[in-house]
């Protein structure tokens, strides 16, 4: 069955937790973090079009990168918003403008450059079944809920998953959700919006290497892993 799927790659953050370095333009094995991420989507047979959402000041750099790399699936490079969810909405609105009838959308953090084609394909298969599915991995550490330095709860670890991206959705479903009043509330991922609207969201296997580059320590892993995986 031929499906049309778009990717919204959100790259409009400020890297505040990176102590002054722009994590999306740090060089990993000789290429910017952002380039590694986009490459995987450009190479994936399940992705037809790509919308990149970036900072206004980085628009020229992303345009230059896309021209240099010849990523023909990239149909738009647009500015994002104040929050991740605002950038996602900007990307979804652009997909709606440029891809009439789009059926599926993958929303992915540009800061997750180690996503694989297999994860993208697993995500689409899960979304075809559930309408909404997100990459996740079982947590390995015991997680505690803490209030003012005191433990208030220890959730059952067997029920806890660490959420990643891509988050894959029926496009009409997630696009409409991002235009409900509830969408104005702060949320750190897109699945939360659907959950709060009463929709079931499934998880599908991500990977423990599909990390989000967030702090300097993540760069240590990223540089080693990217170099090692280039040699495979
Ligand atoms: N207003 C925002 C905030 C985040 N993002 C993107 O969402 C992804 C996940 O966000 P995060 O890791 O928090 O990135 P930053 O917001 O840059 O990090 P920080 O919170 O440390 O500033 C990143 O690819 C980031 O570029 C975005 O497109 N628009
Ligand atoms: C979407 C996400 O990557 C799932 O873990 C995460 O919530 C993004 O959080 P951030 O603070 O915007 O990086």
**pLDDT tens digit string along 2-51?**
677 999 999 999 999 998 899 999 999 999 999 999 999 999 999 999 99
Q: What is the pLDDT of residue 195?
A: 98
Q: What is the pLDDT of residue 20?
A: 86
Has residue 148 been placed in a domain?
no
Cα–ligand 2 centroid distance for 190 (angstroms): 9
Give 232's pLDDT tier (boundaries 50, 70, 90).
low
Has residue 155 been placed in a domain?
no
Q: What is the pLDDT of residue 231?
A: 62
Cα–ligand 2 centroid distance for 15 (angstroms): 12
User: 87, exposed or middle or buried, with CB in 10 Å at 0-12, 13-18, 19+?
Assistant: buried
Task: Assign 3-class secondary structure to the chain.
Answer: CCCCEEEEEEECCCCHHHCCCCCCCCEECCEEHHHHHHHHHHHCCCCCEEEEEECHHHHHHHHHHHHHHCCCCEEEEEECCCCHHHHHHHHHHHHHHHCCCCCEEEEEECCCCCCCHHHHHHHHHHHHHHCEEEEEEECCCCCCEEECCEEEECCCHHHCEEEEEEEEEEHHHHHHHCCCHHHHCCCCCHHHHHHHCCCCCEEEECCCCCCCCCCHHHHHHHHHHHHHHHCC
Distances (CA, A) of 42 to 8, 36, 45, 122, 224: 12, 10, 8, 16, 24
Q: What is the pLDDT of residue 228?
A: 82
Average pLDDT over residues 147-165: 98
Has residue 127 been placed in a domain?
yes
Given a cut of 70, whether residue 176 has pLDDT beyond it is yes
Cα–ligand 2 centroid distance for 112 (angstroms): 10
| Total number of residues shown for the chain | 232
Count of the separate structural domains present in the chain: 1
223 or 119, higher pLDDT: 119
Has residue 101 been placed in a domain?
yes
Cα–ligand 1 centroid distance for 166 (angstroms): 14
Name the residue of 109, 160, 164 to mutate for ligand 2: max ligand atoms within 8 A of Cβ: 109
Pocket of ligand 2 contains residue 83 by CB under 6 Å:
no
Pocket of ligand 2 contains residue 192 by CB under 6 Å:
no
Average pLDDT over residues 56-67: 97
**Of 224, 232, 173, 180, nearest in space to 199 by CA:** 173
Q: Ligand 1 pocket: which residues have CB below 6 Å?
A: 10-17, 53, 80-84, 87, 109-111, 212, 214
Give 131's pLDDT tier (boundaries 50, 70, 90).
very high
Given a cut of 70, whether residue 1 has pLDDT beyond it is no
**Of 2, 65, 60, nearest in space to 37 by CA:** 65
Has residue 36 been placed in a domain?
yes
User: Which ligand sits nearest to residue 86's alpha carbon?
Assistant: 1
Reported as a single tens digit per residue, the pLDDT across 187-228 is 999 999 999 999 999 999 999 999 999 999 999 999 989 888
Has residue 142 been placed in a domain?
no
Residue 13 near residue 56, CB atoms below 8 Å: no
93 or 231, higher pLDDT: 93
Distances (CA, A) of 124 to 71, 98, 133, 134, 208: 21, 21, 8, 10, 19
Has residue 199 been placed in a domain?
yes
Q: Is the pTM of this model over 0.90?
A: yes
Given a cut of 70, whether residue 82 has pLDDT beyond it is yes
* CATH number of the domain enclosing 55: 3.90.550.10
Average pLDDT over residues 53-64: 97
**Of 199, 127, 202, nearest in space to 168 by CA:** 127
Domain that holds residue 40: 5-136+163-231
Q: What is the pLDDT of residue 229?
A: 79
State the average pLDDT for the chain.
96
Given a cut of 80, whether residue 230 has pLDDT beyond it is no
Has residue 105 been placed in a domain?
yes
């Amino acid at each position: 069955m031929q499906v049309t799927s778009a990717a919204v790659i959100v790259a409009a953050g400020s890297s505040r937790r990176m102590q002054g370095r722009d994590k999306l333009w740090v060089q990993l094995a000789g290429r910017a973090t952002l380039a590694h991420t986009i490459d995987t989507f450009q190479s994936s047979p399940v992705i037809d079009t790509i919308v990149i959402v970036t900072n206004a000041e980085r628009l020229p750099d992303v345009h230059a990168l896309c021209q240099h790399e010849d990523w023909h699936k990239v149909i738009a490079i647009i500015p994002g918003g104040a929050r991740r969810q605002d950038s996602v909405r900007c990307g979804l609105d652009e997909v709606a403008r440029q891809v009439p009838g789009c059926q599926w959308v993958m929303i992915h953090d540009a800061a997750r450059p180690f996503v694989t084609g297999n994860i993208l394909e697993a995500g689409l298969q899960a979304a075809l079944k559930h309408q909404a599915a997100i990459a996740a991995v079982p947590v390995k550490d015991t997680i505690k809920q803490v209030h003012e330095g005191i433990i208030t709860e220890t959730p059952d670890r067997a029920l806890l998953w660490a959420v990643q991206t891509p988050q894959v959705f029926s496009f009409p479903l997630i696009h409409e959700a991002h235009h409900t009043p509830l969408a104005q509330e702060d949320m750190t991922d897109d699945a939360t919006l659907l959950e709060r609207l009463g929709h079931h969201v499934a998880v599908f296997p991500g990977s423990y290497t599909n990390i989000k580059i967030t702090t300097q320590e993540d760069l240590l892993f990223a540089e080693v892993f990217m170099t090692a995986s280039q040699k495979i």
